[in-house]
Amino acid sequence: MLSSIDLGKFPTNPGVYLMKNADEEILYIGKAVNIQSRLRSHAANGHVSQSLYRQVESVDFIMTENELEALILELLLIKEHLPRYNVQLKDDKRYPFLKLTLDEKFPRLYLTRTLPGKGEGRATRSARSARYFGPFPHVYEARTLLRTLQEVLPLRTCKIPSGELVLERPCLEFEMHRCLAPCVADICNEEEYRDVALKVLKFLSGDHKSVGQVLEKWMQEAAENLSFEKAAIYRDALKALETFRQRQSISMLEEDSEDYLAGVRLGDITCVVILRRRSGSLRGSEHYFLEDEAGTEMSEVLSAFITQHYESCPEIPRRLLCSVLPSSVETLEMWLTSLIAKKVEVRKPHRGPRLKLIDLAVKNAEFHAAERYRKGHGTKRRLSEGVLRLGADLGLSPLPVRIEGFDISHHRGEEAVASMVVFENGVPKNLITASSK
């Protein structure tokens, strides 16, 4: 148990700590400004996460220079080990990237949602030497851009290793002018192919002018030849190029861009909602469910969510407004600022229109949490707002669909009268009284 470990031997420096069971399995990973103080806090609050602390047999630690380094290291270790008791996004909505495998003799360009070291254990050397471009908020945009580049700069997308690209005849992609067929020696040699790959790299790195000019020319020619379907394809490709250009300028979001985050816990369901505000108006809403077996404080939940969600988010706003101020808020601000090279603020509003938007985000989170709870626990009726709030405030699971309250009064031990009030799904029923003489 955690309480049986000598915590005085741990350093008072910033860093990351790893709680392990008797089998050396990592149960929980945390960060701290003062490792020893944080572990003592865990031990003092053992009643909060008894199921976790009872299993802890040892604690390892890694010291860092500051809390920001600890935050980044914690994020990397959680992604690698996926500890059971850390807050984790259930719906891992990873954003798509384009991957260019420059380490290969004949590089490939294809769509991926996995970055090196994320979700597939340790990154290989080849994965680290590849180039990733994105992220894209919608997979349609990534696929459209990939098809566009295949039309103009046709690299292969097949999974055949470069060393095995020895074929007698090219595949259908070559016939459709979407590949240079490096698999057939007398069609395309390594030098010619590498030249096209470098042009793709140049385009994806920011030089969009040449490809845009080619597509513009093709669109006009198709329109003049009354090939309107082809013209529409080139038009969509131009739009995809423009979208990609904008995504590469992530730090160019308007100054008043804001995300509103609200976290709600309903029994065993934890839900976070994001409302996105751009140019003074709401532009969208997203909701996520998280795994949280330890019953973590909501400030810790929001802190963990922010690091996981915004690490690869295509749009990081200049301000995050939260229903509960996340833990280590200054470190979060430093980390978010480092991602877009512009100051990012994390705040909890207390009044005005921003507080109203937070209240709206909370209502959305309560709704989604209630729907997930209803499906998971077989509750057919829609739960009232009063029951939802009671369950969230008291951490009840399952939720109290029927509540009975009793009161007994008497006069010096005689003339006893009992009463019972009943609420079903938050709605009061008839008062029931009984007397006893």
DSSP labels for 33-85? SSHHHHHHHHHHTTTTTHHHHTT--EEEEEE-SSHHHHHHHHHHHHHHH--TT
Mean pLDDT of 290-295: 76
Q: Evaluate whether 176 touches 160 at the Cβ level (below 8 Å).
A: no
Q: Is 319 helix (H, G, I), strand (E, B) or coil?
A: strand
- Dihedral, 292, 296, 302, 308 alpha carbons, nearest 10: -50
Q: What architecture is the 2-86 domain classified under in CATH? A: 3-Layer(aba) Sandwich (3.40)
Residue 435 pLDDT level (bands cut at 50, 70, 90): low
Confidence of residue 4 (pLDDT cuts 50, 70, 90): confident
Mean pLDDT, to the nearest integer, of 338-365?
89
Going by their DSSP bridges, the two strands 58-63 and 131-133 should be labelled as unpaired
Helix (H) or strand (E) holding 337: helix 329-340
Exposed / middle / buried, residue 342 (Cβ in 10 Å: 0-12, 13-18, 19+): middle
Instruction: Give me 331's structure tokens.
Output: 């470190």
Residue 355 banded pLDDT, cuts 50, 70, 90: very high
pTM of the model: 0.50
**Which pLDDT score is estimated for 243?**
64
> Which pLDDT score, from 0 to 100, does residue 116 have?
62
Q: How much of the chain exceeds pLDDT 90, in percent?
A: 12
Q: What average pLDDT does range 10-38 have in this prediction?
A: 90
Domain extent listing, the chain:
2-86, 97-248, 258-372, 402-436
pLDDT level of residue 367 (50, 70, 90 thresholds): confident
Contact of 55 with 27, CB cutoff 8 Å: yes
Residue 249, pLDDT > 50, answer no
Judge whether residue 284 has pLDDT over 60.
Answer: yes
Q: How far apart are CA 273 and CA 135, in angstroms?
A: 21
Name the residue type at position 309: H
Q: What is the mean pLDDT of residues 184-195?
A: 80
**Distance of alpha carbon 362 from alpha carbon 323, whole angstroms:** 7
Reported as a single tens digit per residue, the pLDDT across 201-241 is 877 776 666 677 777 887 888 888 887 877 886 787 777 66
The pLDDT assigned to 151 comes to 77
Q: Which tokens in the block code for residue 231?
A: 């013209």
Average confidence (pLDDT) over 256-274: 88
Task: Report in angstroms the alpha-carbon separations of 265 from 91, 93, 298, 355, 390.
Answer: 16, 20, 8, 20, 11
Cα 283 to Cα 305: distance, rounded to the nearest angstrom = 21
Task: Name the residue among 348, 344, 395 with its Cα closest to residue 369.
Answer: 395
Q: Write out pLDDT tens, residues 65-109.
A: 788 878 888 887 887 788 888 877 665 556 788 888 888 888 888
Identify the bridge partners of residue 18 per DSSP, sorted by sequence position: 29, 60
Mean pLDDT over 339-361 rounds to: 89
Which CATH number applies to 258-372?
3.30.420.340
pLDDT, mean over the chain? 79
Among 117-126, 308-317, 369-378, 394-403, name the one with the lowest average pLDDT: 117-126
